[in-house]
């Protein structure tokens, strides 16, 4: 067994404070589970063109999407905001 050095100090960089991030894109999918209460909103982010899989709460997100768009959610343009953990904080419909 190799002895460890006692009280070894490790130089670490300070953690960055993450602010809320606002983005815009088009909804391309919604994947949720009623039993777990968790869901993922798939959004084609502009202008980068990648698909972001944004975690969110299932029931509140479904209700908010239905109130904003009715039954046709896929293909709708939104501006959305993520919280410090990367979870969907809010969204607003974007006028095209």
Query: Does residue 2 lie within any of the structural domains?
Result: no
Tally the domains of the chain.
1
Query: Does residue 32 lie within any of the structural domains?
Result: yes
Domain region containing 89: 21-93
pLDDT tens for 27-69 read 999 998 778 889 999 999 877 788 999 999 999 999 999 999 9
| Percent of the chain's residues with pLDDT above 90 | 49
> pLDDT category, 17, cuts 50, 70, 90?
very low
What's the pLDDT score for residue 61?
92
Q: How many CA atoms lie within 13 A of 16 on its CB side?
A: 5
What's the pLDDT score for residue 96?
66
Query: Does residue 65 lie within any of the structural domains?
Result: yes
- Count of Cβ atoms closer than 10 Å to residue 11 Cβ: 4
Q: Report, as an integer, the average pLDDT of 80-88.
A: 89
Radius of gyration of the chain (CA): 19
Query: Does residue 14 lie within any of the structural domains?
Result: no
Q: What stretches of the chain show up as alpha helix (H) in DSSP? A: 58-69
Q: What is the CATH number of the domain that holds 81?
A: 2.40.50.100
């Amino acid at each position: 067994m190799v002895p460890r050095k006692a009280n070894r100090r490790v130089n670490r960089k300070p953690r960055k404070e993450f602010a809320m991030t606002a983005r815009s894109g088009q909804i391309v999918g919604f994947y949720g589970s009623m039993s777990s209460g968790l869901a993922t909103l798939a959004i084609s982010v502009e202008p980068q063109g990648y698909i972001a899989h944004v975690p969110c709460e299932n029931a509140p997100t479904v209700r908010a999407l239905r109130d904003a768009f009715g039954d046709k959610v896929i293909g709708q343009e939104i501006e959305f905001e993520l919280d410090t953990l990367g979870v969907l904080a809010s969204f607003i419909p974007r006028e095209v």
